[in-house]
A and B are shown apart, each in its own frame.
Chain A
Amino acid sequence: MEIVDKLLNHSRLALSKAITAVENEYDDAVKIMTEIYPHTGNAYVIGITGPPGAGKSTLTDKLAKEYRKRGKTVGIVAIDPTSPYSGGAILGDRIRMMDLTADEGIFVRSMATRGSLGGLSQKAGDAVKLMDAFGMDVIIVETVGVGQSEVDIVKTADTTMVVVIPGMGDDIQAIKAGILEIGDLFTINKADREGTDKLNIEIEMMLELNPEHVGWRPPINRTIASKGEGIEAVVDSIEAHKAYLIDSGKLNDIRKKRIKNEVEAMLNDRVNRYIDKEVIQTQEFDDLVVKMQSREIEPYSVVDDIVGKVLK
């Protein structure tokens, strides 16, 4: 395909158009991804998550610059939520990254979460693959750490970094917030604020109680991203984690798991769409709902019947 050839020849326009094709589910999207697939698997993927206002975009901007200093090219997928009311979105991550537009070694793509159908994680994953095939060495996926689909995205990264800031609540918040469990490294941003030491201790304590981290203990770095302070140490930590994953053979496991998750998501998506079109949107189903409402029939056997027909 022409667009794929151009993308592989480093056309930024072709990369951009290819991501749009995936995002909007154009007819040629599957063909593009099929042709791209053999050229993927080379980039190192970093997931960045954390609460709104933690400074993820600013940190991403600074990390990208640090990676450029170290001679790496960088792709960034910055995800912001779609309004559930209007379907519109304000994608404001780029405002922190406008400096990066002057650098040909960096490509930033903003993505809205849109609806649940079609799977954000799948589309973000495809955007990562397209940047990977384009030849980006490092790809950063940045998203707010609320909601399963966002967590799913960063979970599939090679290295996942959780960004936290002081003053967000006591240690109970740290225990209950699920995102703290997925961090391979932690960054306390805005570390010139009061409460940084306390937050540091709370994360330490949480890590002590977490039995999963055998062999790699997530480091805790402090940054003031807006001033560019502490950025080198964060990149050093990411590189240390990468070295650990390679030496221990775990990188292979992570990537195998990623492929498994991706295919599972694709299968689920296909089945969901099929059920939506062939079952939910039919008159027959509406009639069944009316019968269930009047208690003529019950939903359990209806589900059995439908599953029996769909999965025959």
Chain B
Amino acid sequence: MANVKVLVAKPGLDGHDRGAKVVARALRDAGFEVIYTGIRLTPEQIAEAALQDDVNVVALSLLSGAHNTLFPKVVELLKEKGLNDVLVIGGGVIPDADIPGLKAAGIAEVFTPGTPTSKIVDFINANVK
């Protein structure tokens, strides 16, 4: 009985959590165990929570524009803690031009506004380790 565990978190300073909550709910309905950690978190808090709950996926939501700094930082800290097979995905208002750089930094996929939640569920199911 190995359920997929997903940590949904908002790094940085923006407090717009509607998107993160919609995604959290959709993931729950898809049968995942979702650890919802809320807004205004540091990458360190997110990585430590991922370690303590031994999650399979970290889903980051961010609308402040600081994704190029904060998303890669989370990936880096996860690796530092020995969490090498965690799937990290991101979402929010992220310019297309930034996406290749984020992927190169270890973000497996980036979901921008308008993405159906089913696409996120399918991506997790196809890529989770």
Q: Could you tell me which A residues sit within 8 Å of B by CB distance?
A: 12-13, 16-17, 19-20, 24-26, 82-83, 85-92, 94-95, 98, 101-102, 107-110, 112, 114-115, 118
Nearest residue (CB) in B for A16 is B54
Is A88's CB under 8 angstroms from B34's CB?
yes
Q: Could you tell me which B residues sit within 8 Å of A by CB distance?
A: 1-3, 24-25, 27-38, 41, 44-45, 48-49, 51-54, 81-83
Chain A interface helix/strand/loop/mixed: mixed
Bound-complex Cα distance A92 to B3 (A): 17
In the complex where A88-B27, A94-B49 touch, is A20 in contact with B54 (Cβ < 8 A)? yes
Write out the residue numbers on chain A whose beta carbons fall within 8 Å of the beta carbon of B25. Answer: 90
Listed from nearest, the 8 A-B pairs whose CB atoms lie closest are A88-B28, A101-B48, A24-B2, A95-B38, A16-B54, A20-B54, A87-B31, A88-B31
Nearest residue (CB) in A for B2 is A24
Is B28's CB under 8 angstroms from A86's CB?
yes
Write out the residue numbers on chain B whose beta carbons fall within 8 Å of the beta carbon of A114. Answer: 1, 3
Write out the residue numbers on chain B whose beta carbons fall within 8 Å of the beta carbon of A16. Answer: 51-54
Chain B interface helix/strand/loop/mixed: mixed
Write out the residue numbers on chain A whose beta carbons fall within 8 Å of the beta carbon of B35. Answer: 91, 94, 110
Is A88's CB under 8 angstroms from B29's CB?
yes
A-B contact pairs, 18 of them (CB 8 A): A12-B81, A25-B1, A83-B28, A87-B3, A88-B34, A89-B28, A90-B25, A90-B36, A91-B34, A94-B37, A94-B53, A95-B36, A95-B37, A101-B52, A102-B48, A107-B52, A110-B53, A114-B3
Nearest residue (CB) in A for B36 is A92
Name the residue among A82, A89, A107 with the largest chain B CB count within 10 angstroms.
A89
Write out the residue numbers on chain B whose beta carbons fall within 8 Å of the beta carbon of A86. Answer: 28-31
Write out the residue numbers on chain A whose beta carbons fall within 8 Å of the beta carbon of B41. Answer: 98
Bound-complex Cα distance A94 to B36 (A): 7
Shortest CB–CB separation between residue B30 and chain A, in angstroms? 6
